[in-house]
Amino acid sequence: MLDIRVIRENPEYVKERVRLRGGDHWMLVDKVLECDVKRRNAETEKQALSSERNSTSKQIGQMMKEGRREEAEALKARMSAVGERIKELDAVATAAAEEQENLLLNIPNMPHDAAPVGADETANPELRVWGSKPELAEPKDHVQIATACGLLNFEDAARISGSGFIVYRGLGARLERALINFLLDTQTQENGYQEVGVPFIVKRECMYGTGQLPKFEEDMYGLEGNSMFLVPTAEVPVTNLCRDRILKESDLPVKMTAYTPCFRREAGSAGRENKGMIRVHQFDKVELVEICRPEDGFAELEKLTGHAESILQKLGLHYRVIELCTGDVGFSSAKTYDIEVWAPGQGKYLEVSSCSCFTDYQARRMKLRYKDADGKMRVPYTLNGSGTALPRLYVALLEQCQQPDGSVRIPAALVPYFGADSIAPVS
């Protein structure tokens, strides 16, 4: 969440930055300040009355010793009223604090000052392109390729789970497993991330910690009355490994990677442009998470994005990088780069990774802090990125590496994991 001190000191700046996202979240800023004033006034009066009650208690004791019983009883009666007032003020302060926190949880992060300004994805600038589009006379889409090669079965998935799910078969399942191992080995052995294995179910407070709740609850798969959730991304369990903790500056940066399946309802995602593997309810992903000093945050974002890009470069897949504008950047993010891989069978780019710096927004929600070299308590920055998401990587690999005879060429970097250099159509 946003730092209340920043809101107090420069509310107009906060409103201006949040307003650039679109919507009316910026209007909550004034309500936060109203709650803040009410809470602080109640706490100030409460502290003054508590101090008065403490000093008066000593006076009452002295009066009783001196036999001034009548005066002591009068003061006792007065302190009884003071005690009732303290209870009232405590209730006011607690209610104001709870309302203030609820409001803060519903205000998105402020976009970075240098973020491109725009209303939606049409304003996202292209920053760079790697490689070139493969020359294919009549490119097939991944559904045609996978069906011909016996890799995937959407009908079986629909029979057991409904639409928006995938069954991998034979070499299709082996290819998925090979990609997961390739991604993890690249990030751990070459880019310095520690692999962690995490639960695929998280508590409700973890979803608040990384910002999925309260805004996106309808998109999540909830359990036990929504007290727990299937993970929508490994970002949630991995980042929350550090919730409610005080780290040492020497611990930073913390760099972790994890494979998890991800579960999202993806409401309203039906349509031709989302057929096959492009938008599904359950998919595999390898996530990159970093916790670092604030002064290193945006430089680390550049490195993390490069680590995600390295996957596509090793596989020889053409892609581009765009920066999200103020109206398209995610709820918790201050700055985001999307990596989009080319899918010739679709005739368009598909987002395969989203790399973000959340500044101290998530850390405040998780009550994550660190102690610097001078012993001062500070709030770190958190970052994450897909390293990468599997379905669209799978789509791009099949479609970019398709051959005229219907086979699929396996990129050289993946051959040791897959065990072959091509996949032929089934007879």
**320-379: pLDDT as tens digits:** 999 999 999 999 999 999 999 999 999 999 999 999 999 999 999 999 999 999 999 999
DSSP 420: S
Question: Which residue of the set 332, 333, 353, 354 is catalytic?
Answer: 354
Q: Which two tokens stand for residue 362?
A: 């998530």
User: How far is residue 320 from each of residues 131, 133, 337, 349, measured CA to CA in Å?
Assistant: 9, 11, 10, 8
279 classed as catalytic: yes
Q: What pairing do the DSSP bridges indicate for beta strands 369-371 and 246-248?
A: parallel
User: What is the C-alpha to C-alpha distance for residues 213 and 145, in angstroms, rounded to an integer?
Assistant: 38
351 classed as catalytic: yes
pLDDT digits (tens, 9 = 90+) for 126-139: 999 999 999 999 99
pLDDT digits (tens, 9 = 90+) for 143-164: 999 999 999 999 999 999 999 9
Residue 245 main-chain phi, psi, to 5 deg: -120, 155
392 classed as catalytic: yes
How many DSSP H helices and E strands does the chain contain?
Answer: 13, 18
Instruction: Assign residue 359 a region (left: φ > 0; alpha: ψ between -120 and 50; beta: otherwise).
Output: left
pLDDT digits (tens, 9 = 90+) for 32-49: 999 999 999 999 999 999
Q: Contact 205/176 with Cβ under 8 angstroms?
A: no
Q: Which two tokens stand for residue 296?
A: 């290193």
pLDDT at 272 over 50: no
The pLDDT of residue 264 is 95
Question: Which residue of the set 351, 369, 378, 409 is catalytic?
Answer: 351
Question: Which residue of the set 17, 21, 204, 279 is catalytic?
Answer: 279
User: What is the C-alpha to C-alpha distance for residues 355 and 287, in angstroms, rounded to an integer?
Assistant: 10
The pLDDT of residue 60 is 75
User: What is the C-alpha to C-alpha distance for residues 241 and 147, in angstroms, rounded to an integer?
Assistant: 40
Q: Contact 324/124 with Cβ under 8 angstroms?
A: yes
427 classed as catalytic: no
163 classed as catalytic: no
pLDDT at 273 over 70: no
pLDDT digits (tens, 9 = 90+) for 368-426: 999 999 999 999 999 999 999 999 999 999 999 999 999 999 999 999 999 999 999 99
* Confidence tier at 86 by pLDDT (50, 70, 90): very high
